[in-house]
Structure 1
Amino acid sequence: MTSSILNADLHCHSVVSDGTLTPEQLAARAKANGVELWALTDHDEVGGQDRALAAAHANGMKYLTGTEISVTFANKTVHIVGLGFDAHDEQLQTGLHRTRGGRSERAQEMSDGLAKVGIHGAFDGALKYAGNHKLISRTHFARFLVETGVCQDTNEVFRRFLTEGNPGFVPHRWASLKDAVQWIVQAKGMAVIAHPARYGFTPNEEFALFTEFKNHGGQGVEVVTGSHTPAEYVTYADMAKEFDLFASRGSDFHSPLESRIDLGTLPWLPGQLTPVWEALADRVQ
Structure 2
Amino acid sequence: MPSPIDLHSHSTVSDGLLMPQALVEHAAAQGVKVLSLTDHDDTAGLAIAAKVAAEHGMQLVNGVEISVTWRRRTIHVVGLRIDPDHAPLRDGLEKIRAGRHVRAQGIAASLEKFGIAGSLEGAYAHASQGIISRAHFARYLIEQGYASNFKSLFKRYLVKGKPGYFEHHWATLEEAITWIAGSGGVAVLAHPGRYDIGRTNMLLLLEEFRNLGGTAIEVVTGSHTTDQFQEYAKLAHMFGFKASMGSDYHGPGGYLEMGRLPDLPRGCIPVWQDWPETQSLNNLR
**TM-score bracket, shorter-length normalisation:** over 0.9
Q: CA RMSD in A?
A: 1.9
- What percent identity do the matched residue pairs reach? 43
**Cα distance in 2 between the residues matched to 1:220 and 1:263:** 21
Deviation larger for 237-246 or 171-180: 237-246
1:50 deviates by: 0.6
Residue by residue over 1:240-274, the C-alpha shift from the partner in whole angstroms, topping out at 9 and shown as x without a partner, is: 212221111100011202x1211121101124222
Partner of 1:51: 48
The answer on whether the counterparts of 2:2 and 2:259 sit within 8 Å (CA) in structure 1 is no
Q: CA deviation at 1:161?
A: 2.6
Query: Displacement of 1:111 after TM fit?
Result: 1.5
Is 1:186 matched with 2:221? no
The residue number in structure 1 matching 2:282 is none
Q: CA deviation at 1:219?
A: 0.7
TM, length-normalised to structure 2: 0.92
* Alignment match, 2:232: 236
* Partners of 1:155 and 1:241 in 2: CA distance: 29
Displacement of 1:109? 2.0
Instruction: Write out the 4+ residue segments of structure 1 that deviate beyond 4 Å after TM superposition.
Output: none
111, 114, 121: which one pairs with 1:124?
121
Q: Distance in 1 between matches of 2:19 and 2:70?
A: 31
CA distance in 2, matches of 1:211, 1:280: 25
| Cα distance per residue 1:59-108 (max 9 Å; x no partner) | 21111111111111122111110000111111111111112222112211
- The runs of 5 or more residues in structure 2 that have no matched partner are 280-285
Q: 2:260 aligns with which of 260, 265, 268?
A: 265
Which letter maps to 1:269?
Answer: L
Normalising by structure 1, what TM-score?
0.92
1 CA distance for matches of 2:39 and 2:232?
A: 23
| Whole-Å separation in 2 of the counterparts to 1:151 and 1:201 | 24
Once residues 161 and 2 of structure 2 are traced to their aligned partners in structure 1, the CA distance between those partners, rounded to angstroms, is: 43
Question: Could you tell me how far apart the structure 2 residues matched to 1:118 and 1:164 are?
Answer: 18
Structure 1, gaps ≥5 residues long: none
**Distance in 2 separating the partners of 1:146 and 1:36:** 33
Aligned partner of residue 74 in structure 2, secondary structure: strand
Does 1:277 find its partner at 2:275? no
Q: What secondary structure does 1:140 align onto?
A: helix
Query: Is 1:177 the equivalent of 2:186?
Result: no
